[in-house]
Amino acid sequence: MLLTRYGFREWMIITLAAAIPAAAGVFFGWWWLTALAVVVWTALASFFRDPLGRRPATADERDLVSPADGLVSAVLEVPEHIATGGPATIVRIYLSVFDVHINRMPCGCEVLGTVHTPGKYLDVRIEESAKVNESMVTRLRSAGGVLLGIKQISGKVARHIVCPVAAGQRFARGERFGMIKFGSTTELVVPTGELEKVCVSRGDRVKGGVTVLARLKRI
């Protein structure tokens, strides 16, 4: 288990802030204060954890793995989406503050670009938040030319989307590409016409880079 580089600033601040009461506890013999500082540091730093050794659940490149850890909060179809240029199926994942917040690519792909949309910061447990909150859509093209996307959505607490990608970059299936800091929502957007099947349902727990959310008809 590592701490992600995307949270370097935050976990350094957490470490420095925790070091002061921890040192004071040692100096004055207030061991309860030292213990409390360690517990608080562990709780906050764990948000930026980056699990090692994750592998897709299947070897079939048509299988799109989850871009995030969390709970499937919706599976729906829309007539038009900016990522696909047409009808799309969306698998929406709710991330609580206890989930790993690293985002991963669903398949081997090339980044076509990103679209940032300013918006509100409603609680992500409210369905409307997925439509009106600040968001970042990363448009992708698979090796076989299928257009798809990942949408990162801010929440009431999560107000910092990290997406340091650029057009032309290539990623492997399950590779890290960013995160959203604190509770949030991530969506996998797939063109409905290219979809063979959706492999999850609302209420399922999924693991980023591992759980298969959907299967394409072609790579």
Residue with tokens 């929440």: 155
State the CB neighbour count (10 A cutoff) for residue 168.
9
Candidates 66, 142, 184, 201; catalytic one: 184
**Strands annotated E in the chain:** 2-3, 49-50, 63-65, 70-81, 86-95, 102-104, 109-117, 135-142, 147-153, 161-162, 170-171, 176-180, 184-191, 195-198, 205-206, 212-216
Q: What is the DSSP letter of 7?
A: G
| Residue 184 annotated to the active site | yes
Count how many Cα atoms sit within 13 Å of the Cα of residue 140 in the half-sphere of its side chain. 30
d(CA 215, CA 195): 6
Distance, in Å, from the CA atom of 152 to the CA atom of 163, rounded to the nearest integer, reads 9
What is the set of active-site residues? 184
